[in-house]
Amino acid sequence: MATQTLEPHLIGSLQQAAREILKTMVFMPPQSVTAEAEDCSVFNDPVIGLLGFTGTRSGTFVVRTTEDLAKLIAAKMLMMEPGEMASFGEAVDAFGEVVNMLAGNFKNAWVAGGNQMDLSVPNVIHNGRVTVPSANDACLRSRVRAHLETGTLDIGVHFEAKD
């Protein structure tokens, strides 16, 4: 049995959330947002934003990118230049808020389908390794990739297996 993916309308909602948040809140409209296969649940990326959730199904919202792009996203959102940030630590809160907005936007589509979703607080990991509990075939996971002028932002939803 292969790992399940989200229904097409939910993938579309994830794509729309990426377009809307990146354009209106970060001022970086993506060139495109494509649905991608999400074939792993272990991540070793320079920046990993995580937001757990419970409800109809529990899981984790995962947003991944490079340090430079995370700093640029944070700076744009704060209406600053990336060079004005003294360290990556200054970008963490703003990047976490982007993760929160993306998850909240997706939550609206999930709840509209008659589901429940309660979100936790975002957490941003810098140069770490993260494993989310979606490694078996009973899990549900999908990802979209926002192609920006300066790099890519991967936005995934990982639902744990149903009990």
pLDDT at 5: 86
pLDDT score recorded for residue 101: 97
The three-class DSSP label of residue 81 is coil
**Average pLDDT estimate for 81-92:** 87
| Number of separate domains in the chain | 1
CA 60 vs. chain centroid, Å, equals 9
Q: Which domain holds residue 115?
A: 8-159
Helix (H) or strand (E) run with residue 144 in it: strand 140-148
Question: pTM for this structure?
Answer: 0.93
Tell me the pLDDT band of 137, cut-offs 50, 70 and 90.
Answer: low
Residues 71-81: tens digit of each pLDDT: 999 999 999 98
DSSP 8-state code for residue 111: H
Give the per-residue pLDDT at 156. Answer: 96
Which of the two residues, 161 and 159, has the higher pLDDT score? 159
Residue 146 belongs to some domain of the structure:
yes
Residue 3 lies in a domain: no
Question: Is 124 within a domain?
Answer: yes
Query: Where residue 98 sits, what CATH number does that domain have?
Result: 3.40.1550.10
In a domain, 2, yes or no: no
Supply the pLDDT for residue 1: 41
Q: Is residue 85 part of a domain?
A: yes
CA distance 147 to 95: 17
- Out of 3-7, 39-43, 139-143, pick the least confident: 3-7
